[in-house]
Amino acid sequence: MTMAELAEKSKVSVGTIVRFENGNDIGLLNLIKLMKALELGSNIELLIPEPVVIPSAQTDERPMPRVKRVKKDMLKIPFV
C-alpha cells in the first residue's frame, strides 16, 4: 500500500504519515486511524499499559498521619 492509498483509506494526510515514519508524534487519534486502516484495530489495547499496583495501596492500613511542625516562636513562653 502506498502512502497516498493509506492516507486516503485512513483519512490522515500524507504529511502525517511521513512524520510518523520519521518517528515524530502524530497524536493518538491519527495513530488509531492508521491502525484501523492497516487492519490493526484489534491491537489497540496494546497501547494501554497495564496498571501499576503499589503494594501499600493494597493494605487496609491507613498511613500514619502527618505531624504538624511547631514553629520556633511558638515554643517561647512569655513571662508575665
The residue assigned the cell 515524530 is 24
The pLDDT value recorded for residue 35 is 92
pLDDT in tens, the chain (80 residues): 999 999 999 999 999 999 999 999 999 999 999 999 999 988 888 878 888 877 765 666 666 777 777 666 666 666 55
The pLDDT value recorded for residue 4 is 97
The pLDDT value recorded for residue 76 is 64
Helices 28-37 and 14-21 meet at what angle, rounded to 10?
A: 100
